[in-house]
Amino acid sequence: MQVITKQLRRLKRDKRGISTVITVMLSLVLLVVIVGNVFISSYQMNQVDTEKMQENLNITHITQAGASTWFTAQQEFTVNVGTYTGTYSGTQAAGDFDFETFTESTGQTLFAHRETVTIGAANYYRLLDSAADNSGQTVDVSMSSTGRNLIAKSVYSLQGVLALPASTWTMYYRAWQDSASTATLTRSPSTCSGNWENPQNAYSNDASYANSPTKDQTETYGGYGYSIPAGAQITQVRVRLDAFCADNDYLQLRVSADGGSGWLSTTSVYLSTTEGTHWVDVTSWTSWTPANLNGGSLQTQVVHKKSGGADSVSLDWIPVEVTYSIGAATGHISADLKVITSDGSTRATLATNVASSSSLTTSPATLSATYSFEGYAVVNQTDFLEVDYFVDVSVASTVNAHLRIDDQALAESDQTRITGISSSSSYNLNLQNSFRIDLESYPLDDADGLELLLRYNASSISERWLIKAYNWVSQRFSDVGFNSTIGTQPQTAGSWYTYALSISGDWANYVDADGTVLLQLHDGSIGATQTSIGVDFLGVRIMVGATSIGLRNASPISVHIMALWITNQNDHVRYDVNVFLNAGESTTYVFGEDITVPAGDYMVKAVTERGNIAVNSTNWQS
């Protein structure tokens, strides 16, 4: 009994120990779980903090619906014709009593352009008061005959011109001529007569043969089709015979330079039993000229001669090879001047064969000559001044002369032009400058057009003022797509006027890749009154159809933009958005109609899912 009692007491003690062990083990497990959760939570929080610190979102620009700010000149104007006082800074703000003055001057320069006009039944190139604005055109004329050869006709409208006073004109010609050359031509016959079998088989090198089975048979070939330029120097003439015989027969070759009326000489060509090529140089047989080679003059004749026991000769081909050279010509450029009416008839001949240049060379060069113009009173302002360019050839050759016009790649000093064409009683003004649009703030993808604004006064009401922009596609100044092309003319001398233009059609062609817009301001015509124009403001801006915001993710991780805030001192408005940007990605977010931008100072904030905020402060003048 005592033994049983002891065992029961021991079991009770052991049960308490097991419970204690189990309790300790469960506590340890619980501790591990808690520590693990704390560690994971800490890791996740650190990862969020790290990604938030890595996030780098920028607002690159805000483009407002309506119009951009005005972009004005940032450098001095280029005055092509005229003079100026003041500086370009005077044109940057309107109504500040600071302006730049430009004054018409004399000594008009007219440039030859590739644009054409039809007057009567004739086409003419245009003479314009602006430098070349195109990729250029080369006009050619042959120098194959001596004397004056017309190369180009050009005209200048006398609309608005009262007179062309006496002055010294300087004519500049961008011109050159071809150099001497050598050519070798081989021609086959196309006609034949005689008593050979299949004689036409000798027209080409094709292993088809003309045959003579009997001695002393003759075949004559002609129709070689040469058309060598007159004046060419013949340096070599050779006849080729591709032929063979059955044994040791041979051919006699004769050549005529007068269509077969006479034969120059005779030579023997000995053959083998396999086809061979035999060249016979006949250069020394006569004094060869283009005339006795061209047309039907050149003929060849073969006669079958027997020298053995067999009677058979086969001829595969009988061409003629001619080598000739074209020598250098000598000539220069000169001009004729006249006035023509609107139907093309001549009203007055002003000068003939004047302003003769030095001799042409084989490399492009700008040649010049002067002419003392005696003056002309304009009879009708619908008339045209016509300038005709001639190449005066003293030594002829079959080469061409060339005149280059309207090449903007050339400096103005190298362009075909006329200077000094007006005097103190005729005045002109032409100026230009560049205006750079801030494309980062106003991307062209958001734009709908351009606006131009000029604020000016003029010392005379006689002039009309025109604005053109440089078209970077057509590479010329143009007003295509402008809402108005008639210009502006003041009603009162000295009063201030505002001239506004808009460009909608193909407007992007007037903006270069870097945002440059090149404007040209000029008067409408050469006038008799010297006029000054004060420019108080000249600027360009773009029209924008929708408000947009530029966003750029400069971080190495993706960004989720969830909200835009637009705030000023009165309002704080939040707009929900949903924009994802990958690492390094940029986008333009176009505002919907539900998002409005306040006038005056305001701030735009872009808020990301991680809680970062990009800020842009700006001012919008409505």
Give 98-110 pLDDT, tens digit per residue: 999 999 877 678 9
Residue showing tokens 């050339």: 410
- Indicate the pLDDT class of residue 474, thresholds 50, 70 and 90: confident
> Two tokens at 217?
């048979």
**600 or 444, which is more confident:** 444
Q: Which CATH superfamily is domain 110-179+328-419 in?
A: Galactose-binding domain-like (2.60.120.260)
547-620 matches 110-179+328-419 in CATH topology: no
**334 or 16, which is more confident:** 334
pLDDT of the residue at 360: 96
Q: Is the pLDDT of residue 18 over 70?
A: no
Q: Is the pLDDT of residue 13 over 70?
A: no
What ranges do the domains of the chain cover? Answer: 67-105+427-544, 110-179+328-419, 183-326, 547-620
Instruction: Mark 158-195 as b/e (b = at least 16 C-beta within 10 Å).
Output: bebbbbbbebebebbbbbbbbeeeeeeeebbbeebeee
pLDDT in tens, 570-619: 778 888 889 999 999 988 777 665 566 666 778 889 999 999 998 886 65
Q: What span, in angstroms and rounded, lies between the C-alpha atoms of 363 and 442?
A: 47
Q: What is the percent of the chain with per-residue pLDDT over 70, rounded to a whole number?
A: 87
What are the backbone angles phi and psi of residue 510, rounded to the nearest 5°? -95, 5
pLDDT of the residue at 597: 67
pLDDT of the residue at 424: 41
Find out whether 219 and 192 touch, Cβ atoms under 8 Å: yes
Q: How far apart are the first and last CA of the chain?
A: 110
pLDDT in tens, 248-261: 889 999 999 999 99
Fold of 183-326: Jelly Rolls (2.60.120)
CA distances (Å), origin 21, targets 17, 413, 504: 6, 107, 89
Q: Is the pLDDT of residue 8 over 60?
A: no
- Indicate the pLDDT class of residue 568, thresholds 50, 70 and 90: confident
Instruction: Give the chain's mean pLDDT.
Output: 88
pLDDT in tens, 114-125: 999 999 999 999
pLDDT of the residue at 16: 57
What are the backbone angles phi and psi of residue 203, rounded to the nearest 5°? -75, -20
If you average pLDDT over residues 438-442, what whole number do you get?
84
Q: Is the pLDDT of residue 14 over 60?
A: no
Q: What is the amino acid identity at position 165?
A: P
Give residue 347's region: left, alpha or beta (phi > 0; psi -120 to 50). Answer: alpha
HSE (side-chain half, CA atoms, 13 Å) at 238 = 15
Q: What is the percent of the chain with per-residue pLDDT over 90, rounded to a whole number?
A: 61
Find out whether 62 and 549 touch, Cβ atoms under 8 Å: yes
pLDDT of the residue at 137: 97
> Two tokens at 204?
């080409």
pLDDT of the residue at 181: 83
Instruction: Mark 582-601 as b/e (b = at least 16 C-beta within 10 Å).
Output: eeeeebebebeeeeebeeee
Fold of 67-105+427-544: Jelly Rolls (2.60.120)
- Indicate the pLDDT class of residue 621, thresholds 50, 70 and 90: very low
For the stretch 443-447, contacts whose Cβ atoms lie closer than 8 Å and that sit 24 or more positions apart, written own/partner, are 443/61, 443/63, 443/548, 443/550, 443/588, 444/508, 444/511, 444/542, 445/588, 446/63, 446/544, 446/545, 446/546, 446/548, 446/588, 446/590, 447/507, 447/508, 447/542, 447/543, 447/544, 447/545
pLDDT of the residue at 530: 85
Q: What is the amino acid identity at position 10?
A: R
pLDDT in tens, 476-531: 889 999 999 999 999 999 999 999 999 988 899 999 999 999 999 998 865 667 89
Q: What span, in angstroms and rounded, lies between the C-alpha atoms of 109 and 170?
A: 9
pLDDT in tens, 390-433: 999 998 888 899 999 999 999 999 999 998 886 444 677 888 99
> Two tokens at 275?
């086809």
CA distances (Å), origin 248, targets 266, 303, 457: 19, 14, 102
> Two tokens at 79?
């005055």
Q: What span, in angstroms and rounded, lies between the C-alpha atoms of 620 and 313?
A: 100
- Indicate the pLDDT class of residue 135, thresholds 50, 70 and 90: very high
pLDDT of the residue at 393: 96
pLDDT of the residue at 416: 98
**5 or 567, which is more confident:** 567
Find out whether 526 and 426 touch, Cβ atoms under 8 Å: yes
Q: Is the pLDDT of residue 72 over 80?
A: yes
CATH match of 547-620 with 1.10.3720.10: no
Q: Is the pLDDT of residue 304 over 90?
A: yes
Q: What span, in angstroms and rounded, lies between the C-alpha atoms of 185 and 192?
A: 21
Query: What strands lie across the sheet with 600-608, from one edge to the other?
Result: 572-581, 559-567, 600-608, 613-620
pLDDT in tens, 336-390: 999 999 999 999 999 999 999 999 999 999 999 999 998 888 889 899 999 999 9
CB within 8 Å of 550: residues ≥ 6 apart: 59, 60, 61, 62, 63, 440, 443, 586, 587, 588, 589
